Chain A
Amino acid sequence: MPPAAPRHAPQSPAELARRAEALLPLRPADLHVLLVLSDGPLHSYGISKAADSVAGRVALELGSLYRTLNRLRTEGLIEPVAKIERGPQGQERRTWRLTALGRAVARAEAERLREVVEAARTRKLLRDPMS
């Protein structure tokens, strides 16, 4: 057995794509968090506020949010930023950002969803927005 590669070691795009593919499909909540973080690092409060505003009607309540964050973190899709941000009351806040793998997974999932949408369209489940 070859020694396991370090989790966040730089990886080739092909390798990333292969690993991302293995994690699909994503849960709606996971995709939402990845989407929100694709704009840049954010703390949990920001994530929860932003997730509410993203289309798709996925409510991220307190528990689910942290459960999702924890899961994405253990899968190596997001990571805490080393810098600690302070909240309005001066409390410490962790800021999260996407890893290379996380970005690849978000992209792969978006691709997959686009295929799903295409498939729905060809079956006349969706009206073409252009027509």
Chain B
Amino acid sequence: MSELRPRAPHPDALPRPRPTPLVRLALRLLPQRFRAEYGAEMLELAAERELRAAAGGRKARLAWRARTCFDLIRTALAERLASSFTPTTPPTRSPRPRPRGERSMSTFWHDFRLALRGAWRRPSFSLLVAGTLALGIGTSTAIFTVVHGVLLQPLPFDEPEDLVRVHGRFDPESGFDFPEFPLSVPEYLDYRAAAKAVESVALYRLAGLSLTGLEGGPERVRGAYVTPELQRVLRVEPVLGRGFLPEDGAPEGSDVLWISHRAWQDRFGGGEVLGHRLTVDGRPRTVVGVMPDAFRFPQPDTQLWLPLRIDPANPGSRQSHGFRSIARLEDGVALAAADAEMRQIMAAWQAEYPDIHTGHYLFLRALHEDTVGAARTPLLTLLLASGLVLLIVCANVASIVLAKGEDRGREIGVRAALGASRPRLVQMLLLEGLTLAATGGLLGLGVARLLVRALLALEAGSLPRSTEVTMSPAVLVFALAATAATAILFTLLPAFQATSAPQRKLAEATLRGTASSRRVLFRQGLVAAEVALSFLLVLGAGLLIRSLNELLRVDPGFQTQGILVAGVVPTPTQYPDSEQAMAFWRELLEKVRALPGVERAAVSSYVPMMQGSGVWDFDLEGHQARSDLAFNAVFAAPGEGYFEVLGVPLRSGRVFDGGDRLDAEPVAVVNEEFVRRFLPGVDPLGERIRVATSQDSPLSWARIVGVVGDGRGESLDKEPMPVYYFAHEQTPSTIGGPSRGLAVVMRTTIDPAALVAPLRATLREIDPELPLISPQPMTEVLAESTARQRFTTVVLAVFAAVALLLGASGIYGVLAFAVAQRRREIGIRTALGARPVELLRLVARQGLLPVWIGLLVGGGASFALARLLSGLLYGIEPTDPTTYALVALGVIVVALLACWSPAVRALRLDPTRALRAE
């Protein structure tokens, strides 16, 4: 092309020789100042010398070019090194060596500058490395942020390590089996009186409260009834107003309450609030205190606290368990000591109340463990998984850096030849690594921020303390440590590799342009490690996915599609007697059934996975409870149509109908589990059942008229419980009054969510004071019950995908490099008539060797992982052979895909060109 361009005639008309482009390129490596001074002359001299060398033939000319280029690179490096050391003026040799510290600082800065410049000069390489690192550091930092917020940081109370929860427990010996159960008031009073190891004990009860008289209509908020001791236990004082006084907790205490800081801000704009009256559950109460912003007890979104009134003279039944308790240990008393004391007190109770306290006792558990214990295994699993991802990232980056190191063999050789010591070279390479890692770390923090947001959106309320998750200083320290550790991991090994016998490598690089087989071996080792780690992650994800799949395949025992559920609680103040309450329900149902889009509707005191009315003792006429199996089951009071709406199958007899009114004979329905457990070998139809009560006037018997199918009442992974159902209309006679808290369940012909607004309007029409409580499609209720499994599975699956991708890129990188290295060998083989199959086998063998090793190592390590995962799995063994086989197969397929392109490249290799290139 250049021949066609018109050229300005030179004064001497002789064509000026120009050196080969390679040499010109090498000249450009010289520092700017040097080039400005000597560049033109050097170009001339190079041209003349090349002409002279060309006289010796093609070979001599090539040799000259190689020598000159090599020499220019060397000069450029030396010149750049020197210009960084010596001041630009005056250019005299420094008379004495600089003090040691000063020199090492200056070499540090020099190397640092060099590292920055190097990173800038190799943008694609730097981006690849920094991006991969950002991925690894970002994921592990994000998971650590969550782990720190939930598990590690202390609870937001004064000396939180002294706080313990007091639980009840029923061992099977008692006839019940409840590992954790609420307390009764007499139990609380007795423990408080007897315990010396605790400084104070408080009793509380969670409550959904209706706030009325507000501008925006009635509202349902979370609240709690607490005894005044709570302030001492948690060492908390209102920021405004006063605490609860002992007389507030007395039977005839005044109607006062505390509100949360958030409620104060949202509802009162942070203004005057003390003395203000709020209507809670139909009763006006005076605000006497505003709690601190950080005070989130018992639940994160508790807005109101009311005094729990206890009459020590008349504390109620010892077996009426409905309260939670929290205590603070005495200063210097360990939990073990308090435990020991508790066992003594329990022994005394058993002697005093053998009927009640045989196999039933109280126990203590640290508040921290109580709050976050269930989240520990899934979170630690994810933390471990993110650590594995980080390791894979390190191996991957180390592999990239090693491959780059092949190119840099010359440079390092030259530096060594110029007198750079090995520590100095390692320092230089480490600094380069640190520079890249720091970039990766910074990007990683950004990635972590996004990921934390995604994680919190994904957890859907399944994580405790999720509101306390923030990117605190501890998180920054973690990110910094991760960055430094990564930098060292991914640079140190390659750095030592690269700087061992640099001159030899220089010679190798110059003479043959090949890598030492040891380094290829090293990179293969890295790939094997990546494969092993990826296998572990993919296996973990595979097990969790299969487990979740099993869980979702579980038949809940009722239908979920096209069903809307919402709670309604008519308060006793507004509907004091049964007749009024029943009339309210009838009117509500009638109007709801008339709503367009509603196919059927019913009310019930119990909706599986959403609303329960507790487990109640019962009597069966003519049957005695066994000592190891008390008559106790889930109680439910559904109205007519409930079973039809939820599609609960009828096994025998009938379900409730319109005839089951208060004036008819009371009837009951039980589920199959109930029959299996309490009436084995008996035809349940016709048997009579009643709710057991300690009061003198027994409740009415109800005749069992039907048996329905079992359902999962709590969550999909909990076995069905025995349930007995009483007809809603007959509850005044069978349980002594109407059920207060009921849910409305509707089968809809349209999207259930679209019915929320009409339902709310209907309720307001009947009673503007009643809020609609958490209206939700049944599918959402079900999804919430699997939220934690879903969270763990999705996060681990994403990690596994990243790991697999990185592993594949590692295999690809090593193999592509190896094929390039063995070009000559492959060329010779092709020239000698090797068949494509043989070539493919040659490449695949090299590519798959680390895969086999990785799978073997990963398979061995997976048994440890399986033990960790076993607590998270449902319906599947942690050693499930199908999953193992599928995952191994998947890893092999991905590895083969990664081998594909290098193998094809080897096949397409033109032997003549491959050989000539040598």
User: A70–B16 Cα gap in the complex (Å)?
Assistant: 26
* Pick from B37, B71, B90, B92: contact of A63, CB under 8 Å: B71
Is A62 within 8 A of B48, CB to CB? no
| Neighbouring A residues of B48 by C-beta, 8 Å | 45, 87
B193 on the interface (CB 8 Å rule)?
Answer: no
Interface residues of A (CB under 8 A from B): 4, 22-23, 44-45, 48, 59, 61-67, 69-70, 74-76, 87-94
Say yes or no: A62 contacts B68, CB within 8 Å: yes
22 contacts between A and B (CB under 8 A): A4-B90, A23-B93, A59-B67, A61-B71, A62-B23, A62-B45, A62-B46, A63-B73, A63-B76, A64-B74, A66-B34, A66-B38, A66-B42, A70-B37, A70-B38, A74-B91, A87-B44, A88-B14, A89-B14, A91-B44, A92-B40, A92-B41
Residue of A nearest to B35 (CB): A66
The residues in B between 5 and 32 inclusive whose CB is less than 8 angstroms from any CB of A are: 10-12, 14, 16-17, 23, 26, 30
Besides A64-B75, A66-B75, 5 new A-B residue pairs in contact (Cβ under 8 A), listed by A number: A75-B93, A88-B14, A89-B10, A90-B12, A92-B41
The residue in chain B whose Cβ has the minimal distance to the Cβ of A67 is B75
Residues of A within 8 A of B93 (CB): 23, 75
Whole-angstrom CA separation of A89 from B17 in the bound complex: 9
Q: Contact: A63 with B72, CB < 8 Å?
A: yes
> Closest residue of chain B to A65, judged by CB?
B45
Complex partner residue of A89 from B16, B26, B40, B76, CB under 8 angstroms: B16
Which residues of B lie under 8 Å from residue A45 when comparing CB positions?
Answer: 44-45, 48
Query: How far is B48's CA from A48's CA once the two chains are assembled, in angstroms?
Result: 11
Could you mark each residue 43-62 of chain B with 1 if its beta carbon is under 8 Å from any beta carbon of chain A, else 0? Answer: 01110110000000000000
Which residue, of A59, A69, A76, A90, has the highest number of chain B Cβ atoms within 10 A? Answer: A90
CB neighbours of A69 from chain B (8 A): 38
Q: How far is the CA of A75 from the CA of B94 in the complex (A)?
A: 11
Closest A residue by C-beta to B44: A91
Chain A residue contacts of B692, Cβ below 8 A: none
- Asked if B44 contacts A62 (CB within 8 A), the reply is no
User: In residues 108-164 of chain B, which contact A (Cβ within 8 Å)?
Assistant: none
Q: A75-B92, A89-B14, A89-B16 are in contact. Are A62 and B41 (CB under 8 A)?
A: no
Instruction: State A45–B37 Cα separation when bound (angstroms).
Output: 16
Give which listed residue, B40, B49, B70, B78, contacts A67 with CB less than 8 A. Answer: B78
Contact of B71 among A64, A74, A76, A88 (CB under 8 A): A64
Q: Is the CB of B34 within 8 A of A70?
A: yes
Residue from A62, A64, A75, A88 within 8 A of B49 (CB atoms): A62
> Counting chain B CB atoms within 10 Å of each CB, which of A70, A88, A92 scores highest?
A70
CB distance from B20 to the nearest CB of A (A): 12
Q: How far is the CB of B286 from chain A (nearest CB, A)?
A: 86
With a CB–CB cut-off of 8 A, which chain B residues contact A48?
45, 49
Supposing A66-B42, A89-B16 touch, asked if A61 and B67 sit within 8 A by C-beta, the answer is: yes
Query: Which single residue of chain B is at the shortest CB-CB distance from A88?
Result: B14
Q: Which residues on B sit within 8 Å (CB–CB) of A74?
A: 91-92
Complex: chain A residue closest to B26, CB-CB? A63
Choose among A44, A62, A87 the residue that contacts B72 (Cβ–Cβ < 8 A). Answer: A62
A23 CB to closest chain B CB (Å) equals 7
CB distance from B910 to the nearest CB of A (A): 35
C-alpha gap A75/B76 in the complex (Å): 19
Is residue B784 within 8 Å, beta carbon to beta carbon, of the partner chain?
no
Which residues of the other chain, B, contact A61 by a CB distance below 8 angstroms?
A: 67-68, 70-72
| Minimum C-beta distance from A44 to chain B (A) | 6
Q: Does B79 contact A (CB under 8 A)?
A: yes
Which residues of B lie under 8 Å from residue A66 when comparing CB positions?
34, 38, 41-42, 75
CA distance A48 to B34 in the complex (A): 19
Kindly report which residue of chain A lies nearest to residue B70, judged by CB atoms.
A61
Which residue, of B12, B38, B72, B73, has the highest number of chain A Cβ atoms within 10 A?
B38
The distance from the CB of B65 to the nearest CB of chain A, in whole angstroms, is 11
For the complex formed, measure the closest distance between the CB of B545 and the CB atoms of chain A, giving whole angstroms: 61
Nearest Cβ on chain B to A116's Cβ, whole angstroms: 22
With A23-B93, A62-B72: A90-B67 Cβ-Cβ less than 8 Å: no
Tell me, rounded to whole Å, the shortest Cβ–Cβ distance linking A90 to chain B: 4
For residue A86, give the distance in angstroms from its CB to the closest CB of chain B: 9
For A59, A89, A90, the residue with the greatest tally of chain B CB atoms inside 10 Å of its CB is A89
4 A-B pairs with least C-beta separation: A63-B75, A61-B71, A74-B91, A63-B72
For B17, what are the chain A residues with a Cβ–Cβ distance below 8 Å?
89
In the bound complex, how far is the Cα of B34 from the Cα of A6, in angstroms? 24
Please give, as numbers and ranges, the residues of chain A lying within 8 Å of B92 by CB-CB distance: 74-76
Contacts of A23 in B (CB 8 A): 93
Output the least CB separation between B9 and chain A (Å): 12
- Inter-subunit contact A62/B34 (CB<8 Å): no
Q: Which residues of chain B have C-beta atoms less than 8 A from A44's C-beta?
A: 41, 45
